[in-house]
Structure 1
Amino acid sequence: MASGTSDVREASARVRTVLETLVSQTPEVGLQVAAYLDGALVVDAWAGMADPATGTPVDGDTLFMLSSTTKGIAATCMHICMERHKLSYDMPIAKVWPAFAAHGKGQATVRHALCHRTGVPQTPVGYTPDWLPDWDRMCRGIADLEPRFPPGTCTAYHSVTFGYIVGEILRRIDGRPISRFLAEEICAPLGIDGAYLGVPDDALHRVAVLIDAPPAPLAYQAGMVGEPAGCEVAAVFNRREVLQASIPGSGGVFSARGLACHYAMLAGFGALDGVRILPAARVRKAIALQSFQMDEIYHVRTRRGLGYRLGADAGPLASPGAFGHVGGGGSFGYADPERRLAIGFAKNYFVYNTAIVTPEKPPPSTAHQVARAIVDTLGLV
Structure 2
Amino acid sequence: MNDPIIHGHVDEGFGPVRDALTEQLASGEEVGAAIAVDIDGETVVDIWGGHRDGAKILPWERDTIVNVWSTTKEITALAILVLVERGQVDLHAPVATYWPEFAQNGKSAIEVRHVMAHTSGVSGWDQPFDLTDMYDWDKAVEHLARQAPWWEPGTASGYHAQNQGHLLGEIVRRVTGKHLKDFVAEEIAGPLGVDLRIGAGPDDDDRIAEVIPPPPTRIDVAALPTDSPMFKTFTGPPASAAAANTIAWRRADLGALNAHSNARALARTMSVISRGGTVDGVNLLSARTIDHIFDEQARGDDLVLGVPLRWGIGFGLPEPVTVPALPDERICFWGGWGGSVTVMFPLRKMTVSYVMNKMAPGIIGSDRSDAYLRAVLASTPPSP
TM-score by length of 2: 0.88
Q: Work out the CA distance in 2 between the residues paired with 1:58 and 1:312.
A: 33
Q: Deviations over 1:156-178 (max 9, x none)?
A: 11111211100001110111111
Q: Work out the CA distance in 2 between the residues paired with 1:219 and 1:81.
A: 40
Aligned mate of 2:344, from 335, 344, 348: 335
Q: Does residue 201 in structure 1 map to residue 202 in structure 2?
A: yes
Report matched runs for 1:1-381 at 5 Å.
Answer: 8=10, 10=12, 15-53=17-55, 55-192=57-194, 194-215=195-216, 222-226=231-235, 229=238, 231-234=239-242, 236-313=243-320, 315-354=324-363, 356=365, 365-378=367-380
Q: 1:39, CA displacement in angstroms? A: 2.2
RMSD across aligned C-alpha pairs, in angstroms? 2.4
Partners of 1:312 and 1:320 within 8 A in 2: no
Q: 1:289, CA displacement in angstroms? A: 1.6
Q: 1:110, CA displacement in angstroms? A: 0.7
Q: 1:354, CA displacement in angstroms? A: 4.9
Report the residue type matching 1:240 in the other structure: I
Structure 2, unaligned stretches of length 5 or more? 1-7, 222-229
Report the residue type matching 2:199 in the other structure: G
Percent of residue pairs identical: 29
Cα–Cα, structure 1 residues 56 and 181, in superposed 2: closer, same or farther, change >3 Å?
same
Partners of 2:82 and 2:285 within 8 A in 1: yes
Cα–Cα, structure 1 residues 354 and 298, in superposed 2: closer, same or farther, change >3 Å?
closer
Q: Work out the CA distance in 1 between the residues paired with 2:363 and 2:65.
A: 19
Q: 1:266, CA displacement in angstroms? A: 0.7
Q: Work out the CA distance in 1 between the residues paired with 2:172 and 2:364.
A: 31
Q: Work out the CA distance in 1 between the residues paired with 2:146 and 2:123.
A: 13
Q: Work out the CA distance in 2 between the residues paired with 1:206 and 1:285.
A: 36
Partners of 1:355 and 1:365 within 8 A in 2: no
Q: Work out the CA distance in 1 between the residues paired with 2:62 and 2:18.
A: 12
Moved over 6 A (4+): 216-220
Q: Deviations over 1:81-105 (max 9, x none)?
A: 1222343212111122122112111
Partners of 2:54 and 2:212 within 8 A in 1: no
Q: Work out the CA distance in 1 between the residues paired with 2:328 and 2:287.
A: 19
Most deviating of 178-187 and 49-58:
49-58
Q: Deviations over 1:154-207 (max 9, x none)?
A: 321111121110000111011111111111221122111x21112122122221
Structure 1, unaligned stretches of length 5 or more? 1-5, 357-363
Higher strand share: 1
SS in 2 for 1:99: helix
Q: 1:7, CA displacement in angstroms? A: 7.9
SS in 2 for 1:321: coil
Most deviating of 213-222 and 60-69:
213-222
Aligned counterpart, 1:359:
none
Q: Work out the CA distance in 2 between the residues paired with 1:102 and 1:78.
A: 22
Q: Work out the CA distance in 2 between the residues paired with 1:208 and 1:12.
A: 26
Aligned counterpart, 2:4:
none
Report the residue type matching 2:272 in the other structure: M
Q: Work out the CA distance in 2 between the residues paired with 1:218 and 1:241.
A: 28
Q: Deviations over 1:326-374 (max 9, x none)?
A: 1111000110101111011101112233555xxxxxxx70111111222
Q: Work out the CA distance in 1 between the residues paired with 2:69 and 2:101.
A: 27
Partners of 1:179 and 1:246 within 8 A in 2: yes
Cα–Cα, structure 1 residues 352 and 134, in superposed 2: closer, same or farther, change >3 Å?
farther
Partners of 1:269 and 1:284 within 8 A in 2: no
Most deviating of 14-23 and 98-107:
14-23
Q: How many residues align?
A: 366
